[in-house]
Amino acid sequence: MDVKCKLLTPSNRGWIVDVGWNSGQDGPGQRAVIYFKGCNFACPWCAAPETMAFYPEPLIRPERCTEPERLGERCPLGAIDMKRDDAGSFYPAVNSALCRDCREHSCASASWDGAIQLAGREVEAEELVKHLSRYRAFFGSDGGVTLTGGEPTCRPDFALVLLHGFKAEGIGTAVESNGSSPRFAEFIPLIDHFIIDLKHPDDEQHHRLTRHSNTRTIANIRAAAATGRPVWVRMPLLPGINDDAATLHRLADVLQGMPDNVAVELLPYHQRGICKWRLLGRDYALNDIQVPSEKEHLAAELLLRSRGLQVRGE
Ligand code: SF4
Ligand code: SF4
């Protein structure tokens, strides 16, 4: 059964994890990037696990505390259990069901040393538009603001208010999405640059990995492609999961015949997000997976090029 998106707040307010900055990575030019809190998928390789849950969660850094064994005392509900690994280092285990219903978040306010910080804050859409509009000169003519996550379309009303606001300010918009939203059509007129993730071209495998069908994602890629605006279709390159020739040909089958504004991008699996799983007190399930070599990455890109697709990257 599909896990549904949750909208927890009225349209002009929404939960984000952070606002970051990058160049050319999440859309063209210089960009501000709004990381939404909450995603309807549950990808085990997620490099931003602090964006997955729809509620604020503690990020726990025992090394910042002089008595890490007592960090659990900072949660009055008993959600934090400090454990020790074989090397003697402390790490947390967190009962996230308690955090989901927590309203006080006193673990963070009790952490003057920064050992516990909350991932997630509620913001006003209008305030965020006003704040980022000050950077118009930095964005230039081709840059702008990217909504990513988490999954921006899981807070559809809040995200739409943001997009309307940036468009009204003449600021370019990009949205990175897993493409699963039934309300994606409402977003299309407001997006200058689409980044849509397709985790696996095979529906059954996609469902196994994410708990969602890819049917709507593919339909939304087609709808975005029909606008003539740039569409980047991103697939994580996961060794042993979706990097075999048959899967890459299947991806090519899905994208072949799409217009020139569609380009595919293979994002090699990496392990930079693992430390965040540990800070959240969650287990990381893909410890045995290897990072693809540059040669494997290039070979996969070459296969897609040989099928006539436009491929972003070297
Ligand atoms: S968010 Fe609430 S329940 Fe979770 S660790 Fe902090 S105080 Fe405890
Ligand atoms: S869709 Fe993206 S944000 Fe959501 S769980 Fe998967 S990798 Fe993480």
pLDDT tens digit sequence for 133-190? 999 999 999 999 999 999 999 999 999 999 999 999 999 999 999 999 999 999 999 9
Residue 77, SS3? coil
Q: List alpha helices for 76-202, DSSP H.
A: 96-101, 106-109, 125-133, 136-139, 156-168, 184-187
Residue type, 126: E
> Could you tell me if residue 6 is inside a domain?
no
- H/E stretch holding 300 reads helix 294-306
Of ligand 1's atoms, which has the minimum distance to the CA of residue 118? 1
Q: Is the CB of 196 under 6 A from ligand 2?
A: no
What separation in Å is there between the alpha carbon of 173 and the centre of ligand 1?
35
Which of 115, 134, 153 is where one domain is finished? 115
155 and 74 in a single domain? The answer is no
Q: Is the CB of 166 under 6 A from ligand 2?
A: no
How many domains are contained in the chain? 2
What separation in Å is there between the alpha carbon of 45 and the centre of ligand 2?
8
Of ligand 2's atoms, which has the minimum distance to the CA of residue 236? 7
187 and 135 in a single domain? The answer is yes
Q: Is the CB of 80 under 6 A from ligand 1?
A: yes
110 and 154 in a single domain? The answer is no
Q: Is the CB of 171 under 6 A from ligand 1?
A: no
Of ligand 2's atoms, which has the minimum distance to the CA of residue 39? 4
What separation in Å is there between the alpha carbon of 31 and the centre of ligand 1?
33
- What is the rounded CA–CA span in Å between residue 244 and residue 201? 12
- What is the rounded CA–CA span in Å between residue 71 and residue 5? 32
Query: With helix as H, strand as E and coil as C, how does 11-47 read?
Result: CCEEEEEEEEEEECCCCCCEEEEEEECCCCCCCCCCC
What separation in Å is there between the alpha carbon of 58 and the centre of ligand 1?
7
> Could you tell me if residue 281 is inside a domain?
no
Strand partners, 263: 232
Residue 176, SS3? strand
Pairing of strands 57-60, 90-94: unpaired
> Could you tell me if residue 3 is inside a domain?
no
What separation in Å is there between the alpha carbon of 91 and the centre of ligand 1?
16
Of ligand 1's atoms, which has the minimum distance to the CA of residue 102? 2
68 and 131 in a single domain? The answer is no
Q: Is the CB of 107 under 6 A from ligand 1?
A: yes
pTM over 0.85: yes
Backbone angles phi, psi at 142, to 5 degrees: -105, -10
85 and 229 in a single domain? The answer is no
Counting ligands in written order, the one closest to the CA of 78 is 1
Low-confidence ranges of the chain (pLDDT < 70): 1-10, 314
What separation in Å is there between the alpha carbon of 67 and the centre of ligand 1?
18
The string of pLDDT tens digits covering residues 184-220 is: 999 999 999 999 999 999 999 999 999 999 999 999 9
Q: Is the CB of 41 under 6 A from ligand 2?
A: yes
| Residue 182, domain extent | 13-54+121-273+288-312
Backbone angles phi, psi at 170, to 5 degrees: 75, 25
87 and 235 in a single domain? The answer is no
What separation in Å is there between the alpha carbon of 168 and the centre of ligand 1?
39
109 and 75 in a single domain? The answer is yes
Backbone angles phi, psi at 48, to 5 degrees: -130, 60
236 and 189 in a single domain? The answer is yes
Of ligand 1's atoms, which has the minimum distance to the CA of residue 94? 5
Backbone angles phi, psi at 108, to 5 degrees: -75, -40
69 and 49 in a single domain? The answer is no
199 and 160 in a single domain? The answer is yes
Joined tokens for residue 304: 């897609």
Handedness of CA 202, 208, 210, 213 (dihedral sign): positive
Which of 68, 91, 115 is where one domain is finished? 115
Contact (Cβ atoms closer than 8 angstroms) between residue 227 and residue 208? no
Given the structure tokens 């984000």, which residue do they identify? Answer: 16
Of ligand 2's atoms, which has the minimum distance to the CA of residue 42? 5
- Residue 288's pLDDT is 87
262 and 126 in a single domain? The answer is yes
- Which residues contact residue 66 at a Cβ distance below 8 angstroms, ignoring those fewer than 6 apart? 113
Counting ligands in written order, the one closest to the CA of 35 is 2
Handedness of CA 232, 287, 42, 254 (dihedral sign): positive
- Tell me whether residue 24 is exposed, middle or buried, using C-beta atoms within 10 angstroms of its C-beta: 0 to 12, 13 to 18, 19 or more: exposed
111 and 199 in a single domain? The answer is no
- Residue 313's pLDDT is 79
- Tell me whether residue 311 is exposed, middle or buried, using C-beta atoms within 10 angstroms of its C-beta: 0 to 12, 13 to 18, 19 or more: middle
Q: Is the CB of 150 under 6 A from ligand 2?
A: yes
- Residue 1's pLDDT is 36
> Could you tell me if residue 62 is inside a domain?
yes
Joined tokens for residue 212: 């969602």
Pairing of strands 116-119, 172-177: unpaired
> Could you tell me if residue 189 is inside a domain?
yes
Q: Is the CB of 149 under 6 A from ligand 2?
A: yes
